[in-house]
Amino acid sequence: MTHVTERSNDAADGDRQPWQAGAGRNRGKRTVTYADAGVSIHAGERAVELLKNKVRRASRPEVMGDLGGFAGLFRLDAKKYKNPILASSTDGVGTKLVIAQQLNIHDTVGIDLVAMVVDDLVACGAEPLFLLDYIACGEVEPEKVAEIGAGIADGCRYAGCALLGGETAEHPGVLRPDEYDLSATGVGVVEEADLLGRDRVEVGDVVIAMRSSGLHSNGYSLVRHVLLGAGRMRLETVVEEFGRQRTLGEELLTPTKIYAKDCLGMIAECEVRALAHVTGGGIPGNLVRVLPDHVDAVVNRSTWKPQSIFELVQAKGRIEDPEMESTFNMGVGMFAVVSAADADRALAFLAGRGVDAWHAGEIIEGTGTVQMIGQHTRG
């Protein structure tokens, strides 16, 4: 994050301003400043100062310049590619932020933000290069903004991309002082010949599932309605099913898993046809996006057990199975469609990187739909 968009002119006594509107007029009258409207440049600059070391660690050799410029600079080495294709993605965290604000825990939602962007990029085979973030808040609290930014920087390091810059905007009167919202845009690059997608998927390919870390960053409006609203649960409540004396709030703030480096490594080692990042729309709504019209994906639910949080949400809300599967990831954060010959190799590669992955289904002749068969293991 390079700078703060909203600025004030409330300089300390004796500080010189390079320019001041109406200088020399009405010197005896109290004038209104930007700070009177609730915007402080000093808080924003303090937040940036607190973040500098974290941001510098979330970098790459191609990054040019330092923090504070009007634009982030990134030198793309075009010689590495024959026909480089730039990929871009933008996303936010959604109402998971409400949980963070209620618990006053802000150092993990930045990881969620990065995950939602970079794992969309890698789905087409692109290596994430850099990310730009945007933080809008009712009041800039430097320490809180620094915590948010630290999470974003951590996420970028996990993904192998640079945090190239961003904005922190103060919106008094629009957001409450304790409220904030996040978004980010990422850019990646892929060789044109290596683009993944539906045109590569063939009958006989294997569908590999990679376990999610939990809810990730989708469906939180329904989760909050079911658990905190109608269910009257408290975020501080210890839920026995979660284990290790884990509270509901801790479970709901579990950061989204970032698969980018794992998937890029697998692409380099195996014949990967397509990747499907499971976000809003659930498994059927996202896996279908990589299927050509002449095939179906058959996914067998019996090959995995969703985490306890999904059972809790479904039981408390009395939610039907189709609604759960169209809203949540149900324990799978990423699918890979790989050639049958390379399926075992892909699974071994992911296991070596500590990724919980398994053979979840196959590609058959069909009409471009996802067939969910079997039942999840319960209990």
**CA–CA gap between residue 182 and residue 148 (Å, rounded):** 9
Q: Which of 5-9, 167-171, 191-195 shows the lowest mean pLDDT across its residues? A: 5-9
352 C-beta neighbours (distance < 10 Å), count = 11
Give the pLDDT confidence score for residue 24 in this predicted structure: 47
**CA–CA gap between residue 19 and residue 122 (Å, rounded):** 47
- With vertex at residue 243, the alpha carbon angle to CA 240 and CA 248, rounded to the nearest 5 degrees, is 65
Residues facing 265 on adjacent strands = none
Share above pLDDT 90 across residues of the chain, in percent, rounded to a whole number? 76
> DSSP letters of 155-205?
HHHHHT-EEEEEEEEE-BTTB-TT-EEEEEEEEEEEEGGG--SGGG--TT-
Q: What average pLDDT does the segment 116-126 reach? A: 98
- With vertex at residue 249, the alpha carbon angle to CA 248 and CA 254, rounded to the nearest 5 degrees, is 100
* DSSP β-ladder status, 162-170 and 63-64: unpaired
DSSP assignment, residue 302? G
pTM, whole model, 2 decimals?
0.87
Q: Which of 14-23, 67-76, 116-125, 365-374 shows the lowest mean pLDDT across its residues? A: 14-23
Q: Which of 48-57, 236-245, 363-372 shows the lowest mean pLDDT across its residues? A: 48-57
pLDDT tens digits for 12-53? 433 434 444 444 445 556 665 556 556 566 666 666 676 667
Average pLDDT score, the chain: 89
Please determine, for residue 195, whether its predicted confidence score (pLDDT) is greater than 70.
Answer: yes
Share above pLDDT 70 across residues of the chain, in percent, rounded to a whole number? 85
Q: Which of 60-69, 80-89, 185-194, 256-265 shows the lowest mean pLDDT across its residues? A: 60-69
**CA–CA gap between residue 111 and residue 136 (Å, rounded):** 17
Rounded to the nearest 5 percent, the helix, strand and coil shares of the chain are 40, 25, 40
**CA–CA gap between residue 304 and residue 288 (Å, rounded):** 20
